[in-house]
Amino acid sequence: MKTVYADNNATTRVAPEVVEAMLPYFSDLYGNPSSMHLFGGQVEKQVIEAREKVAQLINCDPSEIIFTSCGTESDSTAIKGTLGSYPEKKHMVTTRVEHPAVLNLCRHLTKNGYALSELTVDSQGNLVLDEVPEAITDNTAIVSIMYANNETGVIFPIEEVGALIKSKGAVFHTDAVQAVGKIPLDMSKSTIDLLSISGHKLHAPKGIGALYIRKGTKLTPFILGGHQEKGRRAGTENVPYIIGLGKAAELAYKHMDDENTRVKALRDRLEKEIIKRCSDTRVNGDTSNRLPNTTNISFEFVEGESILLLLSDQGIAASSGSACTSGSLEPSHVLRAMGIPFTFVHGSLRLSLSRYNTEEEIDYIIEHIPPIITRLREISPFGKSA
């Protein structure tokens, strides 16, 4: 059966070049980079190079990057590590549309004596900037605001938020898991103190991430033990995966233009044709301020889960809301925060592309969606057709 993968915000294919780069580190080059002997020395240099490549992708100094196990660990390290460094401050600021890696953690921390302010978004999914200054007080330890939303792709005005935060003395964290590798980021010109990266969103394997820590930022380690990562994250380095992330970062840097031109054109055509061929649809999120690879479309009078199952029968992989929350059958917290009508929230479909998608695959999706929507509407109590 033909398959088309359009769920790249959930995870990506590991690039063949990444697999190739990693393989020697499972066999011949298995040393521990901290070891004094030749086996250690052989891999130490490559770990340094991988760190340089990740640093290049966001234009920071390599010493400002630590490797973690995933985006979630980077988020936890940033938030818990900051709270640990400022024990006198008991307030956090985030947004209602964060990934659960941030939102569930912050809400959990409110049970441990912390106060939380959750900023809202407008109907286009854009951050309500006016709320930022009043949300931050002298008691605010950390402001954690995602760079780009995983469900809609909407990009937040991070530097404008940063400018408002700086005068208040709070640490500024951004979960940039969906932005890194898709749009250019430049830490040399930024107000960001901490930035989370996840390998499996940019064609590295699952199980590797990174955290950017601006020089001079106070951060209590989340995992204590050995002296790895200059004492900022203990545990023997996951050398093969670090090499993989380095290679993926190098490729993402090289393919950035393609992502912003060819992939964007594929996404735009896909979205336009679906909207043209299906009635009672809407695009969720500000179409002029989005990641180049993501579209989130709602089909009124149908269930997103049913669309996914029928698409899957045709070999097409997509997502409704976020895979991380879909297990709970709760409608998307992101679309609800945007105030999208209930009947549209339930029929939402996220299609997220990558540099591996082709024109032919886009044609295949365009061909299969309208009959699926017609079929589902025919059996729905509303009796609508596409």
Give Cα separations from 23 to 27, 140, 251, 255 (angstroms): 7, 45, 17, 23
Of 251, 247, 243, 246, nearest in space to 181 by CA: 251
Residue 223 touching ligand 7TS (CB under 6 A) = no
Rounded Cα distance, 299 and 275, in Å = 9
Which position's Cβ is nearest ligand 7TS?
Answer: 71
Pair 125, 153: CB distance under 8 Å: no
| Selected binder of ligand 7TS within 33, 71, 81, 244 (CB under 6 A) | 71
The stretch among 103-111, 292-300, 320-328, 335-343 that binds ligand 7TS (CB under 6 A) is 320-328
In the bound state with ligand 7TS, the residue whose beta carbon lies nearer, of 275 and 317, is 317
Q: What stretches of the chain show up as alpha helix (H) in DSSP?
A: 16-22, 38-58, 71-85, 100-109, 131-135, 158-166, 239-258, 264-277, 304-313, 323-326, 333-337, 342-345, 359-379
Window 189 to 208, contacts with ligand 7TS (CB under 6 A):
198, 200
The stretch among 66-74, 153-161, 260-268, 368-376 that binds ligand 7TS (CB under 6 A) is 66-74
The stretch among 293-301, 318-326, 339-347, 357-365 that binds ligand 7TS (CB under 6 A) is 318-326
The stretch among 172-180, 222-230, 272-280, 334-342 that binds ligand 7TS (CB under 6 A) is 172-180
Rounded Cα distance, 310 and 373, in Å = 9
Residue 306 touching ligand 7TS (CB under 6 A) = no
DSSP tag of 91 = E
Inter-helix orientation angle 304-313/359-379, to 10°: 130
In the bound state with ligand 7TS, the residue whose beta carbon lies nearer, of 11 and 279, is 11
Pair 128, 156: CB distance under 8 Å: no
In the bound state with ligand 7TS, the residue whose beta carbon lies nearer, of 9 and 77, is 9
Residue 335 touching ligand 7TS (CB under 6 A) = no
Window 99 to 128, contacts with ligand 7TS (CB under 6 A):
99, 101
Residue 9 touching ligand 7TS (CB under 6 A) = yes
| Selected binder of ligand 7TS within 12, 95, 175, 337 (CB under 6 A) | 175
The stretch among 13-21, 70-78, 89-97, 163-171 that binds ligand 7TS (CB under 6 A) is 70-78
Beta pairing partners, 249? none
Window 135 to 164, contacts with ligand 7TS (CB under 6 A):
146, 150
DSSP tag of 148 = B
Output the six-digit token pair for 243. Answer: 């090499």
In the bound state with ligand 7TS, the residue whose beta carbon lies nearer, of 60 and 97, is 97
| Selected binder of ligand 7TS within 4, 127, 158, 177 (CB under 6 A) | 177
Cα 132 → chain centroid: 22
Inter-helix orientation angle 38-58/239-258, to 10°: 30
Rounded Cα distance, 250 and 208, in Å = 15
Residue 174 touching ligand 7TS (CB under 6 A) = no
The catalytic residues are: 324
| Selected binder of ligand 7TS within 12, 117, 322, 348 (CB under 6 A) | 322
Name the site residues for ligand 7TS (rule: CB under 6 A).
9-10, 70-72, 99, 101, 146, 150, 175, 177-178, 198, 200, 209, 322-324
